[in-house]
């Protein structure tokens, strides 16, 4: 058996095996696009199916699910609109299953489940459910595997020592929960009750199996819909359509890279600390552009063995592609063509490709998400109008647990109604919204929905004035968030972005940092320095989280003074912040909306500051 993840090899080409040219038939580009768009529509339908049938809030509210279609070789053919990294980590678990089991173990009616980070995934809460799609071989007429429908979702628990799927202080991967490299849950249409029961008994959440069944149903729906495409177009045309769109994506990718200036571009980024408090987790990247060839090399990233923050290769791979894709023409199909066109260097043993057994529940976010930051920083002066970090500074979700007095059952609240901040500006565009684009289609529940599900009250969720990074274009403000727990509870979380907040680009300033205080406003507040390890909360205590702002783009002194005045009127920027951060002097009163720009004073202040720069 070959190893689909050659962990001892530093240079990893990202492609799956190619089809033989002799197997391909001519297909016109319009038909190829029709097939691709049909597959993408099916991906969307699969994802929506999960949201409408799942049994827990993390799936039926948050949209933390993404669907993909792969070909029989495990190559990404199509995907839905969703969380970029999530979609781009879906191929390797399927490819492992193909390699480990062999195609002879894939039969019509089968459905598989996998969640093992060391077999291609991100972290244990991310369960991938996939099923093969069959059609008649054009030469023999015998039915064979043509496509694979895959749906990946984040679950609320994984077993292990800590509820919620995030045991960030675990010594190893086994302490984080149960690993399922690949198991067959439906065997030729028959449910494997033994396997499904094993999955359920290794999870704390009673409704977990309902979420798995929702994924199974989505995968089966995908099979049925893809079967319709095969029936309509035929196996040969569908397979050639997939090949054609992959080749087209790779060709367009290389055309864009060719337009970039040749050279090597390096940068560093840091995570404040790991969950144990080890400081300054270091990422280094060297990006080499040589004609149409692109190499992304993470040699020089942190290798301290005592660290507790590790991103698996599959996770790092997904974030790398997500950032690179965001810097290219959005019309290029997101498929295996992107993977094929990049040489990725991730030395084994660094924080972005750990030795087997390291804990990874926290690392899927940090340093995983920070891959986007370090790539953007490296490319900011090469592609200044596209180098927007596709990242965030969340740490991990704020997991609150206790016992609901109404039901008498334990609850695990992932605070799915929060996360507002970290949106960076881009050249020509102020940041907007509440979620960074790296979260994709992730939807945060309303306070009212979650108050009906969990014993808490949310008292505040509002933008923080002056928290957006100043720049010619402004980063979005962070948010102030307060939640009161109504029953005795504990809080488990990991916080970053306090020392290293969202970075400004091309002279823009950093966004404001994160800050989290438990038992906020009480006589015994607990400021989270790095990790809250089941901190006790009494009924009536509050959780306060100041989420950080996004970084700005460009010199703040180049911002249009009228735009600064508008920001003050909208309370994104204070009157004092307008002068302090932008050199814009305002006269009048905000209370009666009589503010106006003092043009002469503004010109004087800005000239003095430019001379001092």
> Hey, what are 177's tokens?
């929960």
- Distance between CA atoms of 43 and 78, rounded to whole angstroms? 8
Q: Where are the alpha helices (DSSP H) in 353-415?
A: 370-379
State mean pLDDT over 37-55: 94
Chain centroid to CA 152: 12
Write down the pLDDT at residue 16: 53
User: For the segment 131-162, what is each residue's pLDDT rounded down to a tens digit?
Assistant: 999 999 999 999 999 999 999 998 888 998 88
- Distance between CA atoms of 595 and 236, rounded to whole angstroms? 68
> Worst-scoring range by mean pLDDT, 41-45, 120-124, 507-511?
120-124
Q: Phi, psi (5° rounding) for residue 482?
A: -135, 135
Site of tokens 């729906």 = 221
User: What sign for the dihedral angle of Cα 391, 392, 395, 399?
Assistant: negative
State mean pLDDT over 264-277: 97
Residue 27 DSSP one-character state = -
> Do the Cβ atoms of 493 and 396 come closer than 8 Å?
yes
> Worst-scoring range by mean pLDDT, 7-16, 41-50, 435-444?
7-16
> Do the Cβ atoms of 244 and 27 come closer than 8 Å?
yes
| H or E element that contains 44 | helix 29-53
Q: Phi, psi (5° rounding) for residue 403?
A: -120, 125
The mean pLDDT of the chain is 92
- Distance between CA atoms of 377 and 388, rounded to whole angstroms? 8
**Radius of gyration for the chain, computed over Cα atoms and rounded to the nearest angstrom:** 25
Please state whether 84 falls in left (phi above 0), alpha (psi between -120 and 50) or beta: alpha
> Worst-scoring range by mean pLDDT, 73-82, 127-136, 416-425, 590-599?
416-425
Between 6 and 492, whose confidence is greater?
492
> Hey, what are 124's tokens?
């244990």
- Distance between CA atoms of 289 and 264, rounded to whole angstroms? 6
Other CB atoms within 10 Å distance of the CB of residue 556: 25
Chain centroid to CA 481: 22
> Hey, what are 425's tokens?
């500006």
Residue 278 pLDDT exceeds 70: yes
State mean pLDDT over 273-300: 97
Write down the pLDDT at residue 197: 96
> 244 pLDDT band (50/70/90 cuts)?
very high
- Omega within 30 of 0 (cis) for the link into 605: no
User: For the segment 499-553, what is each residue's pLDDT rounded down to a tens digit?
Assistant: 999 999 999 999 999 999 999 999 999 999 999 999 999 999 999 999 999 999 9
Residue 71 pLDDT exceeds 80: yes
pTM over 0.85: yes
- Distance between CA atoms of 218 and 150, rounded to whole angstroms? 9
């Amino acid at each position: 058996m070959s190893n689909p993840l050659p962990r001892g090899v530093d240079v990893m080409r990202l492609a799956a095996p190619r089809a033989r040219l002799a197997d391909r038939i001519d297909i016109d580009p319009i038909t190829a696009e029709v097939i691709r768009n049909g597959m993408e529509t099916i991906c969307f339908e699969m994802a929506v199916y999960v949201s409408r049938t799942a049994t827990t809030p993390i799936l039926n509210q948050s949209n933390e699910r993404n669907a993909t279609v792969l070909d029989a070789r495990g190559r990404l053919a199509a995907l839905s609109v969703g969380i970029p990294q999530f979609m781009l980590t879906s191929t390797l678990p399927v490819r492992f299953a193909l390699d480990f089991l062999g195609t002879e173990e894939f039969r019509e009616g089968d459905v598989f489940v996998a969640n093992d980070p060391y077999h291609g995934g991100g972290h244990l809460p991310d369960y991938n459910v996939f099923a093969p799609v069959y059609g008649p071989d054009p030469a023999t007429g015998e039915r064979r595997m043509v496509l694979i429908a895959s749906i990946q979702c984040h679950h609320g628990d994984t077993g292990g020592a800590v509820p919620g799927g995030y045991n960030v202080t675990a010594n190893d991967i086994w302490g984080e929960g149960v690993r399922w490299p690949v198991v067959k849950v439906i065997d030729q249409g028959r449910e494997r009750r033994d396997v499904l029961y094993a999955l359920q008994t290794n999870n704390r959440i009673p409704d977990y199996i309902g979420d798995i069944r929702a994924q199974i149903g989505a995968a089966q729906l995908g099979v049925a819909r893809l079967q319709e495409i095969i029936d309509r177009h035929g196996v040969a045309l569908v397979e050639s359509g997939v090949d054609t769109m992959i080749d087209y994506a790779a060709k367009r990718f290389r055309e864009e890279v060719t337009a970039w200036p040749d050279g090597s571009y390096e940068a560093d980024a840091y995570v404040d600390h790991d969950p144990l408090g080890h400081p300054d987790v270091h990422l280094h990247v060297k990006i080499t552009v040589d004609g149409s060839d692109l190499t992304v090399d993470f040699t020089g990233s942190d290798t301290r063995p005592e660290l507790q923050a590790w991103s698996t290769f599959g996770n790092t791979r997904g974030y790398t592609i997500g950032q690179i894709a965001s810097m290219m023409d959005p019309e290029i199909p997101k498929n295996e063509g992107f993977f094929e066109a990049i040489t990725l260097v991730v030395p084994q043993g660094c924080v972005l490709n750990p030795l087997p057994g390291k804990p990874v529940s926290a690392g899927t976010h940090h340093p995983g998400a920070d891959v986007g930051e370090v790539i953007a920083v490296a490319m900011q002066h090469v592609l200044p109008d596209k180098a927007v970090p596709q990242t965030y500074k969340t740490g991990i979700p704020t997991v609150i647990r206790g016992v609901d007095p109404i039901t008498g059952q334990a609850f695990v609240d992932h605070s799915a109604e929060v996360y507002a901040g970290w949106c960076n500006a881009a050249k020509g565009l102020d940041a907007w919204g509440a979620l960074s684009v790296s979260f994709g289609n992730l939807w945060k529940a309303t306070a009212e929905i979650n108050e009906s599900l969990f014993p808490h009250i949310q008292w505040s969720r509002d933008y923080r004035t002056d928290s957006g990074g100043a720049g010619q274009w402004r980063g979005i403000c962070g948010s102030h968030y307060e939640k009161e727990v109504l029953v005795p509870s504990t809080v488990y979380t990991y916080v970053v972005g306090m020392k290293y907040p969202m970075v400004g680009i091309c002279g823009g300033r950093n966004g404001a940092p994160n800050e989290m205080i438990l038992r906020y406003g009480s006589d015994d507040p607990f400021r989270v320095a790095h990790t809250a390890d089941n901190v006790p909360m009494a009924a009536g205590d509050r959780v306060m989280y100041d989420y950080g702002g996004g970084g700005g783009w460009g010199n703040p002194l180049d911002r249009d003074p009228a735009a600064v005045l508008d920001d003050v009127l909208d309370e994104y920027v204070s009157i004092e912040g307008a002068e302090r951060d932008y050199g814009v002097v305002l006269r009048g009163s905000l209370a009666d909306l009589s503010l106006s720009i003092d043009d002469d004073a503004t010109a004087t202040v800005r000239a003095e500051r430019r001379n001092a720069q």
